[in-house]
């Protein structure tokens, strides 16, 4: 079960996780660790190759931010990216020049394809026959003198040394960012590095991973019992299916239905897990309890806290009844656990307290079982499909832990939740069934998150011969790759028209539908 591994040393770039995703897409296992891990750690990790990430820092300003000596002593291939290239240059005897102007955005780089890394890799060629790459650049400093033993691998007019290599040592470095999607040949470059230069066989495949994960869970748990909080979300669902595959009835899922789930969601979760998988599921209908505690509360943060607290309470009460349980399973995934050099210095400001229903306190006194800890979201989805979960469930848009509690603005009332669930189901149904002709994909698949928001205001309308005075909903649909920034989706008018007409006709109590055309920032994706 020992996979060949690539070590990614993080110097604090915003996009280090993308490096890991590209490596995993090449079917090679990798881990991200802070740049200042010890030499012993690196030797014990025994990587097939090492990648040095970018950074917000400058090799000029920060003399601490260097690759550990073991990187150069281990004799394995090394790929430096942006800052990673600069620190490679500085540490191996080249020069970097400081600059206070940044080069940022699209660039065309001349690839000197005589190295193993870029041989035959190009997007187009110039009339003179030079191979060119379309890339993404984001840097201030640049390498101005090659270290001894290195040759030029890529160049642009403003950055004459945009890539360098020492092929005897198998060291490669690029000033541009092959990990971002704007660099067209990025996947090919990573594939070349990890598969051919580092010689990794490509043994990281989700279909095969099931067997390995199952064996590991059995080994960890033995004959003890496990409980898992099922939320209906992708991570807890895949974790449940995987653990169930491993230990069957030793797993009990507790599904706390707070009444703020999407239409029929509770039933769907029960049909899937209790019905099709024959897993043990305790379904706790706690809607009345949650609604009771939310009565009269209008502040969004307060609502989040109450929902989080009640969830823990209900779950704990159920857990106590399962006195044989020794393990608590959670759907924690790699981005939740990855340590990064950046996080040591960066101060994150809390805009919303993103409590995750499923994040339970340690007071339960149970051992933690987190079988998805090393997987990215795309891998969790692939694993889910491989485990036989329906693609519709596995490729669902993310849904916040507090559920409709933060999509009903102000006070949450059962009658508002009922109207919202029905309106939202219509919106999602139409998104799924409307195909965008150029891509052949549905608008559901073309958006990252789409939902309906309930506004507790009434507006006047006219229906038949009568005047109505009913509630308003807002449709929200965004496109984003990281949920940190997002654009509102340019849905076709015909689709919006149909959704609006269906909601107003089919959901009595709503007489006006609006579309939210705010991007993030300055707005957020959710309204609360
Ligand atoms: P915002 O509204 O901050 O949302 O732009 C970014 C992403 O986070 C989700 N979100 C939450 N998820 N608990 C969660 O588990 C929360 O309290 C919460 N608030 C927002 C949101 O749905 C979007 O995907």
223-241 pLDDT per residue, tens: 999 999 998 899 999 999 9
Q: Is the pLDDT of residue 429 over 50?
A: yes
Q: What is the pLDDT of residue 292?
A: 97
* Averaged pLDDT score across all residues of the chain: 93
Q: Is the pLDDT of residue 176 over 50?
A: yes
- Whether 521 is in the pocket of ligand 1, judged by its Cβ within 6 Å, is no
Q: What is the pLDDT of residue 360?
A: 63
CB 143 within 8 A of CB 83: no
Ligand 1 atom with the smallest distance to the CA of 486 is 5
Q: What is the pLDDT of residue 484?
A: 87
Longest dimension (CA), the chain: 86
Report how far ligand 1's centroid is from the alpha carbon of 400 (Å).
5
Range 387-400 average pLDDT: 94
Summarised one tens digit per residue, pLDDT across range 471-505 is 999 999 999 988 889 999 999 999 999 999 999 99
Query: What is the crossing angle of helices 414-433 and 493-506, to 10°?
Result: 140
| pLDDT interval class at 342 (50, 70, 90) | very low
For 323-361, b where at least 16 C-beta lie within 10 A, e where not — what string?
eebbbbbbbbbbeeebebbbeeeeeeeeeeeebbbbebe
Closest CA to 289 of 138, 143, 414, 424: 414
- Whether 116 is in the pocket of ligand 1, judged by its Cβ within 6 Å, is no
Question: SS3 for 506?
Answer: helix
| pLDDT interval class at 213 (50, 70, 90) | very high
Percent of the chain with pLDDT over 70: 95
Q: Cα separation of 258 and 451, whole Å?
A: 18
Lowest-confidence region among 164-168, 248-252, 319-323, 425-429 = 319-323
Query: Could you give all domains of the chain from N- to C-terminal order, each with its CATH number?
Result: 5-196 (3.40.50.880), 206-395 (3.40.50.620), 414-515 (3.30.300.10)
Percent of the chain with pLDDT over 90: 87
CB 229 within 8 A of CB 236: yes
Q: What is the pLDDT of residue 194?
A: 98
| pLDDT interval class at 1 (50, 70, 90) | low
Q: Is the pLDDT of residue 116 over 90?
A: yes
Mutate to test the pocket of ligand 1, among 333, 400, 487, 522 (most ligand atoms within 8 A of CB): 400
Q: What is the pLDDT of residue 352?
A: 41
Query: Which residue lies with its CA nearest to atom 3 of ligand 1?
Result: 524
- Whether 186 is in the pocket of ligand 1, judged by its Cβ within 6 Å, is no
Q: Cα separation of 277 and 301, whole Å?
A: 37
- Name the pTM for this structure: 0.88
| pLDDT interval class at 335 (50, 70, 90) | confident
Report how far ligand 1's centroid is from the alpha carbon of 423 (Å).
20
- Please report, to the nearest 10 degrees, the dihedral formed by the alpha carbons of residues 189, 191, 193, 194 taken in order: 150
Report how far ligand 1's centroid is from the alpha carbon of 527 (Å).
10
Query: Which residue lies with its CA nearest to atom 4 of ligand 1?
Result: 525
Summarised one tens digit per residue, pLDDT across range 362-372 is 667 899 999 99
DSSP for 25-45 reads: HTT-EEEEEETT--HHHHHHH
Q: Is the pLDDT of residue 358 over 70?
A: no
Q: What is the pLDDT of residue 98?
A: 86
Q: Cα separation of 131 and 165, whole Å?
A: 17
Q: What is the pLDDT of residue 102?
A: 84
Q: What is the pLDDT of residue 338?
A: 79
Q: Which residues contact 342 (CB under 8 A, 6 or more apart)?
A: 10, 11, 12, 13, 14, 16, 56
Mutate to test the pocket of ligand 1, among 354, 356, 407, 523 (most ligand atoms within 8 A of CB): 354
DSSP state of 128: T
Query: What is the crossing angle of helices 206-221 and 234-247, to 10°?
Result: 60
Closest CA to 54 of 193, 191, 179, 163: 179
- Whether 483 is in the pocket of ligand 1, judged by its Cβ within 6 Å, is yes
- Whether 106 is in the pocket of ligand 1, judged by its Cβ within 6 Å, is no
Ligand 1 atom with the smallest distance to the CA of 397 is 24
| pLDDT interval class at 144 (50, 70, 90) | very high
Residue numbers annotated as active site: 82, 177, 179
Token pair of 201, please?
């066989």
| pLDDT interval class at 218 (50, 70, 90) | very high
Report how far ligand 1's centroid is from the alpha carbon of 526 (Å).
6
Q: What is the pLDDT of residue 361?
A: 61
- Whether 344 is in the pocket of ligand 1, judged by its Cβ within 6 Å, is no
Distances (CA, A) of 39 to 12, 16, 45, 73: 19, 21, 10, 9
- Whether 182 is in the pocket of ligand 1, judged by its Cβ within 6 Å, is no
Q: Is the pLDDT of residue 346 over 70?
A: no
Q: Is the pLDDT of residue 345 over 90?
A: no
Q: Is the pLDDT of residue 350 over 70?
A: no
Q: What is the CA radius of gyration of the chain?
A: 26
Q: Cα separation of 193 and 171, whole Å?
A: 10
Token pair of 376, please?
């990215």
CB 171 within 8 A of CB 88: yes
If you search the block for the tokens 């769907």, which residue do you land on? 268
Q: What is the pLDDT of residue 173?
A: 98
Distance of CA 164 to the CA centre of its chain: 32
Range 100-125 average pLDDT: 93
Q: What is the pLDDT of residue 353?
A: 45
Token pair of 46, please?
């025994």
């Amino acid at each position: 079960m020992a996979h060949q591994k690539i070590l990614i040393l993080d110097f604090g770039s915003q996009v280090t996780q993308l490096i890991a995703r590209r490596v995993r897409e090449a079917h090679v296992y990798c881990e991200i660790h802070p740049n200042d891990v010890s030499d012993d750690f690196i030797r014990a990790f025994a990587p097939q190759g090492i990648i040095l990430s970018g950074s917000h820092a400058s090799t000029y300003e920060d003399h601490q931010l260097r690759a550990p000596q073991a990187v150069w002593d281990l004799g394995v291939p090394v790929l430096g990216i942006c800052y990673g290239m600069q620190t490679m240059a500085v540490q191996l005897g080249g020069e970097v020049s400081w600059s206070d102007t940044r080069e940022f955005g699209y660039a065309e780089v001349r690839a000197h394809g005589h190295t193993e890394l870029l041989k035959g890799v190009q997007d187009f060629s110039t009339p003179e026959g030079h191979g060119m790459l379309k890339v993404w650049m984001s840097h201030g400093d640049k390498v101005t003198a090659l270290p001894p033993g290195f040759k030029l691998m890529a160049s642009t007019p403003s950055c004459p040394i945009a890539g360098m290599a020492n092929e005897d040592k198998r060291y490669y470095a690029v000033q541009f960012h092959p990990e971002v999607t704007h660099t067209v040949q990025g996947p090919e470059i990573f594939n070349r590095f990890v598969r051919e230069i580092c010689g990794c066989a490509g043994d990281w495949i989700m279909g095969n991973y099931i067997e390995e994960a199952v064996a590991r869970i059995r080994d960890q748990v033995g004959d003890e019992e496990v409980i898992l909080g099922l939320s209906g979300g992708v991570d807890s669902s895949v974790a449940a299916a995987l653990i169930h595959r491993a230990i069957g009835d030793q797993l009990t899922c507790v599904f706390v239905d707070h009444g703020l789930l999407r239409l029929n969601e509770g039933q769907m979760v029960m049909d899937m897990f209790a019905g099709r998988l024959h897993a043990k599921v305790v379904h706790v209908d706690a809607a009345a309890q949650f609604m009771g505690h939310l009565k009269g509360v209008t502040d969004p943060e307060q609502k989040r806290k109450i929902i989080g607290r009640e969830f823990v309470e209900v779950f704990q009460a159920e857990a106590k009844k399962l006195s044989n349980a020794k393990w608590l399973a959670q759907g924690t995934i790699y981005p939740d656990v990855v340590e990064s050099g950046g996080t040591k210095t960066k101060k994150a400001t809390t805009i919303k307290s993103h409590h995750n229903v499923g994040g339970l306190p340690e007071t339960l006194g149970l051992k933690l079982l987190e079988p998805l800890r090393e997987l990215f979201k795309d891998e969790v989805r692939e694993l889910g499909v491989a485990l036989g979960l329906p693609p519709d469930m596995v490729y669902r848009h993310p849904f916040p832990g507090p559920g409709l509690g933060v999509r009903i603005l102000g006070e949450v009332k059962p009658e508002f939740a009922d109207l919202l669930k029905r309106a939202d189901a219509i919106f999602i149904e139409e998104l799924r069934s409307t195909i965008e002709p150029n891509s052949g994909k549905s608008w559901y698949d073309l958006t990252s998150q789409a939902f309906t928001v309930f506004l507790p205001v009434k507006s006047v309308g006219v229906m038949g011969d009568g005047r109505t005075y009913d509630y308003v909903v807002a449709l929200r649909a965004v496109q984003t790759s990281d949920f940190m920034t997002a654009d509102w989706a340019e849905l076709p008018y015909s689709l919006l028209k149909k959704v609006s007409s269906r909601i107003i006709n089919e959901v009595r109590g709503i007489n006006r539908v609006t579309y939210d055309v705010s991007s993030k920032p300055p707005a957020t994706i959710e309204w609360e």
